């Protein structure tokens, strides 16, 4: 088997590609999820926060360069996923309960970072059907931050919990030799 550095680099490259493709597919299909953090979670679980941060940053920067440079600041959200996931999974075994609780935590952490960016870059709207909810909340007296944050928590709740559970299932299904365990 290849040496650890080569393995980690190759895996992280695949993780970046996975995050980009999943993000593009969900966006093209107008699915109200992101799924662009799957590679970040996988890299952070297996190799720690630094790998997660790098995969998260590269995923968003490359996608931003392909589609819209205005989306590049959202790399901070994806980087935070790696920064949180890595230490959590080093401290606790990444099992189904950890995946569920991690996804729940990320469903609040990510909007806390992404909402101010979204307001600054796009005025709090994202061009999806959920903008109706944001505008209804604003008309009902909520600030644009509160309305956008609530919408983002709702979508991230499903997205981040789902992402973490799918990542857990993928890692559980992979043979140990592909998880880098033999390369440590």
- pLDDT for 89-109, tens place per residue? 999 999 999 999 999 999 999
Residue 96 contacts residue 168 (beta carbons within 8 Å): yes
Is pLDDT of 39 > 50? yes
User: What percentage of the chain reaches a pLDDT higher than 90?
Assistant: 69
| CA separation, residue 142 to residues 2, 54, 112 (Å) | 55, 36, 16
Predicted pLDDT at 182 = 42
Residue 180 pLDDT: 59
For the segment 72-88, what is each residue's pLDDT rounded down to a tens digit? 999 999 999 999 999 99
The domains of the chain, with CATH numbers, are 4-183 (1.10.1760.20)
Residue with tokens 């941060």: 53
Q: DSSP for 23-56, please give it.
A: HHHHHHTT-S---TTHHHHHHHHHH-HHHHHHHH
Q: What is the pLDDT of residue 44?
A: 98
Band the pLDDT of 129: cuts 50, 70, 90: low
pTM: 0.90
């Amino acid at each position: 088997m290849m040496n650890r550095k080569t393995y980690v680099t190759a895996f992280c490259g695949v993780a970046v590609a996975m995050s980009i493709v999943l993000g593009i597919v969900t966006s093209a299909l107008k699915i109200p999820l992101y799924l662009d953090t799957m590679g970040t979670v996988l890299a952070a679980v297996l190799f720690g926060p630094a790998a997660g941060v790098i995969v998260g940053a590269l995923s968003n920067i490359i996608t931003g360069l392909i589609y819209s440079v205005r989306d590049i600041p959202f790399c901070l959200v994806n980087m935070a996923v790696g920064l949180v996931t890595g230490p959590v999974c080093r401290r606790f075994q990444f099992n189904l309960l950890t995946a569920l609780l991690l996804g729940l935590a990320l469903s609040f952490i990510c909007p806390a970072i992404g909402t101010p960016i979204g307001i600054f870059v796009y005025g709090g709207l994202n061009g999806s059907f959920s903008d109706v909810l944001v505008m209804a909340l604003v008309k009902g007296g909520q600030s644009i931050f509160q309305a956008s944050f609530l919408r983002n928590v709702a979508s991230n709740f499903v997205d981040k919990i789902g992402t973490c559970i799918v990542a857990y299932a993928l890692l559980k299904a992979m043979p140990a030799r592909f998880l880098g365990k033999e390369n440590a």
